[in-house]
Amino acid sequence: MSSSKEFNWDNFSTKGFGDGYSKEQRAQMEAMYAGTLNEITEKEVIKGVVVGVNDKDVIINIGFKSDGLVPLSEFRDVAGIKPGDEVEVFIEEQENALGQLILSRKKAKIVRAWQDIESALENDSVIEGLVKRRTKGGLIVDIYGVEAFLPGSQIDVKPIRDFDIYVGKKMEVKVVKINHTNDNVVVSHKVLIEKDLEKQKAEILNNLEKGQVLEGVIKNMTNFGVFIDLGGVDGLLHITDISWGRINHPEELLQLDQKVQVVVLDFDDDKRRISLGMKQLTSHPWDSLAASLEVGSRVQGKIVNVADYGAFLELAPGVEGLIHVSEMSWSQHLRNPADFVKVGDEIEAVVLTLDKDDRKMSLGIKQLTEDPWTKGDMSTKYAVGSKHKGVVRNLTNFGLFLELEEGIDGLVHVSDLSWTKKIKHPSEFVKVGDELNVAVLELDVENRRLALGHKQLEENPWDTFETVFPVGSVHKCTVNSKNDKGAVLELPYGLEGFATVKNLEKEDGTQVEVGESLDFKVTEFSKDDKRIVLSHTATFKEEAKAAKKAAVAGKKKEDAVEMPAQAEKSTFGDIDALAELKEKMEGKK
């Protein structure tokens, strides 16, 4: 190989070679030789021609003083490299320690690739790449031998859920960003699609009108509906417009990437919001109801919703009827509809009202059984005086409602709970859910009224109390409570009595206090009003008065016995006394 430095012919021993040339001739030949060589610069890409191939290297002539060697391994992507083939190489060194020209096809490819990538970015040109593998957030694409990043959001205009389907496939992309610091390249396939969609989108929007039927692809799904790609234009298919029947989520009938036919229902002035419908492509199921369906008909269906006020029974997709909670049971006590039905139940019902024009229907299930108030044995079963057991269903200020059987409720007034206790509210006596024995006091089948009593199961003890607590009788009582009007007293047999403030005065002038047990005298007894009025003061004042009265009466009797003798004595004595008095008075004179 020849040196790249200037050759010194004077120092070269020719040993007879070229002895016939003069200096001028040698200079002329040297100039001619130099004209056949290229001026080359290290670290640049240049074209060369393959002049030889061996087991390890490819010999390439780039028009320099010497040929260069490139490892054969760098031509693995070229099938059958042979002399005469033109290739691009990168000049690493013009001369190494052995005086050889060092070339690299691998580096030439990298340099050329970056030049092509920069050109593609500058000229906004489309290039083809090979998807090598999936990575976090996107794909790795090989373009010109350089690995570029394709973000998931730049693959397509619609969300991509499976990146693996693109691995190993060729894809057209555009370079959108180059980071020279990190040698990173970002590409996009989405921009190519968007350009194609712009024309399609403009065409769709220009021709858009209500009632128009279009085909689209489901690109996104939510609990309130699905977004459909109409070809660059998105529209919303609300969940209520998917089916005439009731559904809880679009996924019950639809799936992502599914092609569907939809109709344009509405859009705003700038056509940015497009409302779509799918159920509108079929006739309303109410229009195909059987003509035989009428009030009183029995129907079969499935419970599709349960609310606080009732449940909806679906007879067919899009045809529902409301079963109000009051139509679920003959009981007058309203309960939660969930006590009777649940979503998914297949049940039978009776049509109560039907309006095909307004597409409304009310149903009932209690009508499937006989009304207990209309049964023939009602008057005898619940005759006045008959005894029954029921469940407390509701409490009010004036009493409680007792369910004797499904659909038969009766009222127990608070005054009919106990003969002896004064109950202000039924919660003091029972609670909801308790069982209670009662007797029928009154029955009105026509108005569906039943009056019941609990205390009537026992005899009225006030008939006996009348003889036990007569007016004037004295009993040991305990003061339970006091207020500004008086005190509530606890009497024998669990009875309560009342004493006014003035009747609570004790003999020493103090007042009876809560918790004290003293004698009280009955001053008033009312069997009808179940009232006993008593007085402690009367127990000692009336005794003193009676004693005084008795003493006065005894004195009068004694005076009446002695009066005749005294009268007689006074009659005869008066004369002597007067005479004596007269004499004394005259003697003094």
Q: Give 124-155 pLDDT, tens digit per residue.
A: 888 899 999 998 889 999 988 888 999 988 88
In angstroms, rounded to a whole number, what is the distance separating the alpha carbons of residues 430 and 418? 12
Question: What pLDDT is attached to residue 40?
Answer: 53
**Average pLDDT of 176-189?**
86
For residue 262, the model assigns a pLDDT of 93
Predicted confidence (pLDDT) per residue in 379-428, tens digit:
889 999 999 999 998 899 999 999 998 888 899 999 899 877 778 899 99
pLDDT classification of 431: cutoffs 50, 70, 90: very high
- Structure-token pair, residue 550: 């008795």
pLDDT, residue 259, reads: 92
In order of 146, 404, 429, 439, the CA distances from 389 in angstroms are: 91, 6, 16, 9
Where is 478: in which H helix or E strand?
strand 474-482
- Identify the pLDDT of residue 499: 95
Q: How confident is the model at residue 5 (pLDDT cuts 50, 70, 90)?
A: very low
Identity of the highest mean pLDDT range in 25-39, 73-87, 213-227? 213-227
Contact indicator for 435, 397 with CB cutoff of 8 Å: no
Report the DSSP pairing between strands 310-316 and 259-267: unpaired
pLDDT above 70 covers a percentage of the chain that reads 82
Extended strands (E) in 527-586: 531-535
In this prediction, residue 302 carries a pLDDT of: 93
Characterise 124 by phi-psi region: left (phi > 0), alpha (psi -120 to 50), beta (else): left
One-letter amino acid at 325 equals V
Q: Interior CA angle at 370 toward 368 and 373, to 5°?
A: 140
**DSSP-assigned letters across all residues of 332-391:** SS---GGGT--TT-EEEEEEEEEETTTTEEEEESGGGS--GGGSTTHHHHT-TT-EEEEE
Average pLDDT of the residues in 445-474: 87
DSSP bridge pairs for 139: 134, 150
Rounded CA gap, 258 and 7, in Å?
78
Share of the chain above pLDDT 90, in %: 33
Reading the block at residue 61, the tokens are 């002539």
Binned at pLDDT 50, 70 and 90, residue 241 comes out as very high
The DSSP line for 234-262 is: EEEEEGGGT-SS--S-GGGT--TT-EEEE
- Whole-number average pLDDT of the chain: 81
State pLDDT tens for residues 333-368: 667 899 899 999 999 999 999 998 888 999 999 999
Beta bridge partners of 267: 274
Residue 500 in 3-state DSSP? strand
CA distance linking residue 122 with residue 115, whole number of Å: 11
- Is 427:395 a contact under the CB 8 Å cutoff? yes
- Tens digits of residue pLDDT in 57-103: 888 888 776 677 888 877 777 777 888 888 878 787 666 656 577 78
Q: Read off the DSSP letter of residue 425.
A: S
Q: What is the pLDDT of residue 68?
A: 78
Encoding tokens for residue 327? 């139509």
Rounded to an integer, what distance in angstroms lies between the CA atom of residue 431 and that of residue 410? Answer: 16
- Taking residue 458's Cβ as centre, other Cβ atoms within 10 Å add up to 11
Residues 213/281, Cβ–Cβ less than 8 Å: yes
- The DSSP code for 448 is T
Task: Give the tens place of pLDDT for each residue, 305-337.
Answer: 999 999 999 998 889 999 999 899 887 766 789
> What's the mean pLDDT in 542-563?
59
For tokens 């209309």, what's the residue?
374
Any residues with CB less than 8 A from the CB of 254 and at least 6 apart, and which? Answer: 218, 221, 226, 242, 260
Residue 107: which H helix or E strand, with range? helix 105-123
Handedness of CA 364, 366, 372, 376 (dihedral sign): positive
Q: Which helix (H) or strand (E) holds 463?
A: helix 462-468
